[in-house]
Chains A and B, each alone.
Chain A
């Protein structure tokens, strides 16, 4: 023991030494073990989280094309302005940044300043700015030498080049590019893709670290959709619906669905009025806008939300309606399929029918009654009593069986969000006698328009209930097809025979029955009208109706089904034939040539298919002859010259096919005169035949849209007058026995 110490001092020194060793260094090392070994990973993760700055690389959302690869929805590059306020060194810079950004981005300065003062590494200031605004920000950064703190993150913005076109089908995306409605929503997972990441190491002031650390996970762009929708057809649907809405003052939107009856491809689905997909949150309807304004301040947001919901709603799949007489094609299918009736089965209509003892009588739309009629006639007359009787013959059980079979009790499975369920009388399918009576002509149960279109397709295509679809193909960013929608038959509901017969029924109905307003000559249109009273809903000016028209073309080999449906027309008529018929006709007239469907005219139709006489003066005789023959006209040449010097009738006069055109090769050639025959009291085709036989042409005037039931009543040149051969005589026709609307 050293002499300078005592034992106590020695001991106490040792104690201090031990205390320093164990309490001091021992605990220190224990803490390091705890922090570095046990909590190391956690702490390291937290450190990495702050050191590595992820930059999200947005995936480009897939394009939505129509069936001809015309883009309907596209994504373009935009930028999101992000503030990394933690990297802004001082309050002066923060002030400067807030002022600059608020000016460029047109934001409230104080709000931006507040965000700048909060210490954060990621605060979104504004989303989706265009490249010109981005350039301004970059310029601002350069001029003020701001190296970090403002970040521009690449993003994509959805553009809809056609605005409100096919809005219900395409849908739109929200701020995070997520699909909110339509196929944008339904196929969101396919369209979205996977965003990538760019990871870089940053120091605490946000500039890059001197050592290299960069890792990139590239974004996987979304898949594109090819719709079965044809932009041209969709355009026709929308254009004609708009016209119908304007003409008949339709207040509650209108729907038109065109579908390939065999494949279930939806070629067009229009819901009007639409909304601009580029600005889906703007209320389009002026009445709705006023209504929202009338709400108290705290209720406005809710009212607006409801209005928007209504605006975005795809009425074709999300709303139900009572199909009315259109449904008679289904009831008729039941009768024929079950061999309960044939087209010749007799029915008697006295204007009303008591469906069973003690019930209130149900009136036919023709109050005087249709009298004795065949089943086919009853179909064309859309006679309610006849169909009540047929319904009773089918019976409630069978009726529901078919109802179920035609797919009215289930969703069609169309690839659109928000498909609604229909409402039947009861959940188990049982129905009372009155239910059965009204159901047989399509009343008191609700279905969706798409269900009706699919059922009509089944009626027309041989009885096959197909699954409708909007998307034909999904293609990946490299253009490879990753999914194709195949024809999907859910079941066969009726036989092909029955289907064929129904097509004939529908065609006859369109040609000369209640659906005449939808007829297009040459295209063998079949159709059925429907006018439904909206039960429990009546506006201030009387009852509300739904006017619909559902038909097929061509009836001999159905290709497309078209359902047109106007909810609550307020402009005079509300009948399906009057309101929806012309739209149907116009659409078919536009679409069928586009689809390349061959025209086949009946004699009657050929006549009214007048063609303007071509201008032939000055052309050679052979040339003129060729031209006329191509047009189906009969050339008669006088004179021996090589060139045509005059023609009868003159260029531009519309004459029926097969008409005579007289060509003179010299001015002074002898003119053969003919006598005008009697052309009154004839059908158009007979009048034409008579005229052609006499060497004159007729020019048809009057309402004979489909040539059925028209009789000539007047002729412009009296019978017996001598005229030059080929002269055009205007004959006026008038349609008699106007068939009644249902």
Chain B
């Protein structure tokens, strides 16, 4: 059984074809089957995938947790953003929520659509997307500076961060390469070198932007995926050591440290009166969180969002959530996120193949990491670095990306060996 499985995986990796594994599922008595061409597959999808199905449908807990979080996120975005919109957008309190709602609708559509999309097709896209990611990361360096960093690419009215693509590209490509080289993950040539190369180049480009928060997420995700992929812990340890050394070097000896170091100072003493350390955002966030107390000031009654917290609709939205909803509800939101991650990982662990497992875990872990790092930043547990809160923070492209990723996980869930509810 085990031997069979591995053989098939290798075959698949060479053929870059997913059909066999799909066919395999028939033995489990599942109701769907896949054809050998795209046309056939399309028909099959229509036939075999039911949107809500006890046996073969998408995973309802994951779907509903996502929807609940999205709804709460939209409500809170409206609450957090309207003063800013009111004061800075010519009295248009709905400025942010209007746009976010549109993107949310698009995102949900994308999520549901992707849940029907057989994720095995992503094997083919892994390398192109990775190359696209590199190109965009290079391109963004030539984009005009915004807030002292090159982070945005403007396409007409829509601005997006290539690093959103990068995160997805890394997860996808790692899942792809690990799953096809699964047997050889123990070796240096197949288990370490390609990943080290991809990660190194990506990290370097992110570092040039600079986009440290994304870099951290990318490194953590890659590490996690390689770890699950079965890399030998000694490689893992070595890379970790090198990474740590590099970070230490950056912090201690380069001129980037002025940027980073001020943040570290502000982190250690957010109420510092040192005028060279800008802790305003962190400080105002902490005021908001503290003001919430156990039960909160009530929905819409945040005071800190009145221009005290700069851009409360973005990274620091959770501090407004804490202020308005209080500890109990904020904790419930965190638990919902935890459940989302839990469910996503469980789905992935039970995915019918390693590619699905790795991809699912990677995507859901990305969401989880972003939530956790955002909360850590907002609560000043780690130095301030720009990480948005999934489903809550304002940002259309990022929301669509996020929902699309959940859609992929949902797609994985359709073939995952779960007790469907």
Binding site for B on A (CB under 8 A): 2-6, 8-10, 12-17, 20-21, 23-25, 27-29, 31-33, 35-37, 39-44, 46-48, 50-51, 201, 203-205, 209-211
Assembly CA distance A242 to B308 (angstroms): 64
0 or 1 for each of B291-334: is its CB under 8 Å from A? (1 = yes)? 11110000001011011100000000000001000110011001
Chain B residues with CB under 8 A of A33: 327
- Contact across chains for B294 and A16 when beta carbons are under 8 A apart: no
Q: Does B407 contact A (CB under 8 A)?
A: no
CB closest residue in chain B, given A203: B306
Assembly CA distance A51 to B297 (angstroms): 14
Given contacts A24-B368, A37-B293, 15 further A-B contacts (CB under 8 A): A2-B357, A4-B353, A4-B355, A16-B361, A20-B369, A27-B376, A36-B290, A36-B327, A40-B293, A41-B290, A43-B289, A46-B271, A201-B303, A204-B307, A205-B307
- Is chain B's interface secondary structure helix, strand, loop, or mixed overall? helix
- Contact across chains for B287 and A46 when beta carbons are under 8 A apart: yes
- Contact across chains for A25 and B288 when beta carbons are under 8 A apart: no
- Contact across chains for B376 and A28 when beta carbons are under 8 A apart: yes
- Contact across chains for B290 and A32 when beta carbons are under 8 A apart: no
- Taking a contact as CB atoms closer than 8 A, the residue among A10, A47, A51 that contacts B290 in the complex is A47
- Contact across chains for A32 and B322 when beta carbons are under 8 A apart: yes
- Contact across chains for A4 and B365 when beta carbons are under 8 A apart: no
- Contact across chains for B326 and A36 when beta carbons are under 8 A apart: yes
- Contact across chains for A6 and B301 when beta carbons are under 8 A apart: no
Chain A residues with CB under 8 A of B288: 47
- Contact across chains for A16 and B337 when beta carbons are under 8 A apart: no
Assembly CA distance A17 to B349 (angstroms): 10
Assembly CA distance A27 to B373 (angstroms): 11
- Contact across chains for B341 and A51 when beta carbons are under 8 A apart: no
Assembly CA distance A40 to B224 (angstroms): 35
Chain A residues with CB under 8 A of B262: none
Chain A residues with CB under 8 A of B327: 32-33, 36-37
Tell me the smallest distance from the CB of B313 to a CB of chain A, in Å. Answer: 15
Tell me the smallest distance from the CB of B233 to a CB of chain A, in Å. Answer: 10
- Contact across chains for B349 and A36 when beta carbons are under 8 A apart: no
- Contact across chains for A21 and B338 when beta carbons are under 8 A apart: yes
- Contact across chains for A43 and B286 when beta carbons are under 8 A apart: yes
CB closest residue in chain B, given A46: B287
Binding site for A on B (CB under 8 A): 1-2, 5, 83, 87, 224, 227-230, 271, 286-294, 301, 303-304, 306-308, 322, 326-327, 330-331, 334-335, 337-338, 341-342, 345-346, 348-357, 361, 365, 368-369, 371-372, 375-376, 379, 381, 416-417
- Contact across chains for B375 and A28 when beta carbons are under 8 A apart: yes
Assembly CA distance A182 to B93 (angstroms): 60
Tell me the smallest distance from the CB of A95 to a CB of chain B, in Å. Answer: 20
- Taking a contact as CB atoms closer than 8 A, the residue among B1, B230, B304 that contacts A9 in the complex is B230
Assembly CA distance A21 to B364 (angstroms): 13
Chain A residues with CB under 8 A of B294: 36-37, 40
- Taking a contact as CB atoms closer than 8 A, the residue among B291, B337, B338, B348 that contacts A13 in the complex is B348
- Contact across chains for B290 and A2 when beta carbons are under 8 A apart: no
- Contact across chains for A25 and B293 when beta carbons are under 8 A apart: no
- Contact across chains for B87 and A205 when beta carbons are under 8 A apart: yes
User: Would A28 and B334 be within 8 Å (CB), given that A2-B417, A16-B228, A50-B287 are in contact?
Assistant: yes
Assembly CA distance A2 to B293 (angstroms): 44
Chain B residues with CB under 8 A of A36: 289-290, 292-294, 322, 326-327, 330
Assembly CA distance A203 to B88 (angstroms): 13
Assembly CA distance A31 to B381 (angstroms): 7
Which of the listed residues B287, B334, B341, B368 has the most CB atoms from chain A within 10 Å of its own CB? B287
Chain A residues with CB under 8 A of B350: 2
Chain A residues with CB under 8 A of B1: 3
- Contact across chains for B379 and A13 when beta carbons are under 8 A apart: no
Tell me the smallest distance from the CB of A37 to a CB of chain B, in Å. Answer: 6
- Is chain A's interface secondary structure helix, strand, loop, or mixed overall? helix
Chain A residues with CB under 8 A of B352: 2-4
- Contact across chains for A5 and B357 when beta carbons are under 8 A apart: yes
> Can you report 6 residue pairs joining A to B where beta carbons are below 8 Å apart?
A2-B351, A4-B356, A20-B341, A41-B290, A41-B293, A204-B307
- Contact across chains for B376 and A40 when beta carbons are under 8 A apart: no
- Contact across chains for A17 and B331 when beta carbons are under 8 A apart: no
Chain B residues with CB under 8 A of A201: 303
Tell me the smallest distance from the CB of A309 to a CB of chain B, in Å. Answer: 38
Tell me the smallest distance from the CB of A121 to a CB of chain B, in Å. Answer: 12
CB closest residue in chain A, given B233: A12
- Contact across chains for B228 and A32 when beta carbons are under 8 A apart: no
- Contact across chains for B342 and A47 when beta carbons are under 8 A apart: no
Assembly CA distance A21 to B335 (angstroms): 9
Chain B residues with CB under 8 A of A35: 286, 289-290, 322, 379
- Taking a contact as CB atoms closer than 8 A, the residue among B5, B287, B301, B379 that contacts A31 in the complex is B379
CB closest residue in chain B, given A52: B303
Tell me the smallest distance from the CB of A688 to a CB of chain B, in Å. Answer: 92
Assembly CA distance A353 to B327 (angstroms): 98
Assembly CA distance A209 to B304 (angstroms): 11
- Contact across chains for A13 and B345 when beta carbons are under 8 A apart: yes
Chain A residues with CB under 8 A of B83: 203, 210
Assembly CA distance A33 to B337 (angstroms): 17
Chain B residues with CB under 8 A of A48: 291
User: Would A24 and B293 be within 8 Å (CB), given that A3-B5, A4-B357 are in contact?
Assistant: no
Tell me the smallest distance from the CB of A199 to a CB of chain B, in Å. Answer: 13
- Contact across chains for B357 and A47 when beta carbons are under 8 A apart: no
Tell me the smallest distance from the CB of B200 to a CB of chain A, in Å. Answer: 22
Chain B residues with CB under 8 A of A3: 1, 5, 352-353
Chain A residues with CB under 8 A of B375: 28, 31-32
- Contact across chains for B308 and A203 when beta carbons are under 8 A apart: yes
Chain A residues with CB under 8 A of B372: 20, 23-25, 27-28
- Contact across chains for B354 and A5 when beta carbons are under 8 A apart: yes
Assembly CA distance A46 to B290 (angstroms): 9
Chain B residues with CB under 8 A of A29: 331, 334-335
- Taking a contact as CB atoms closer than 8 A, the residue among B227, B342, B356 that contacts A17 in the complex is B342
Assembly CA distance A362 to B85 (angstroms): 98
CB closest residue in chain B, given A25: B338
Assembly CA distance A29 to B338 (angstroms): 11
- Contact across chains for A51 and B369 when beta carbons are under 8 A apart: no
- Contact across chains for B301 and A44 when beta carbons are under 8 A apart: no
Ranked 3 nearest A-B pairs via Cβ:
A43-B290, A203-B306, A24-B372
Chain B residues with CB under 8 A of A4: 5, 351-357
Chain A residues with CB under 8 A of B354: 4-5, 9
Assembly CA distance A3 to B4 (angstroms): 10
Assembly CA distance A42 to B286 (angstroms): 10
Chain B residues with CB under 8 A of A47: 287-288, 290-291, 303-304, 308
Tell me the smallest distance from the CB of A114 to a CB of chain B, in Å. Answer: 14
Chain A residues with CB under 8 A of B308: 47, 50-51, 203-204
Tell me the smallest distance from the CB of A360 to a CB of chain B, in Å. Answer: 74
Assembly CA distance A100 to B229 (angstroms): 69
Chain A residues with CB under 8 A of B330: 32, 36
Assembly CA distance A303 to B420 (angstroms): 94
Chain B residues with CB under 8 A of A10: 349
- Contact across chains for B304 and A2 when beta carbons are under 8 A apart: no
User: Would A28 and B303 be within 8 Å (CB), given that A9-B230, A20-B369 are in contact?
Assistant: no
Tell me the smallest distance from the CB of A30 to a CB of chain B, in Å. Answer: 9
Assembly CA distance A8 to B357 (angstroms): 13
Assembly CA distance A20 to B348 (angstroms): 15
Chain A residues with CB under 8 A of B417: 2
Chain B residues with CB under 8 A of A43: 286-287, 289-291
Tell me the smallest distance from the CB of B13 to a CB of chain A, in Å. Answer: 14
Chain B residues with CB under 8 A of A12: 227-228, 230
Tell me the smallest distance from the CB of A44 to a CB of chain B, in Å. Answer: 4
CB closest residue in chain B, given A35: B289
Assembly CA distance A41 to B349 (angstroms): 43
Chain A residues with CB under 8 A of B338: 20-21, 24-25
- Contact across chains for A13 and B357 when beta carbons are under 8 A apart: yes
- Contact across chains for B230 and A6 when beta carbons are under 8 A apart: yes
User: Would A203 and B291 be within 8 Å (CB), given that A4-B353, A6-B230, A13-B357 are in contact?
Assistant: no
- Taking a contact as CB atoms closer than 8 A, the residue among A17, A25, A51, A205 that contacts B303 in the complex is A51
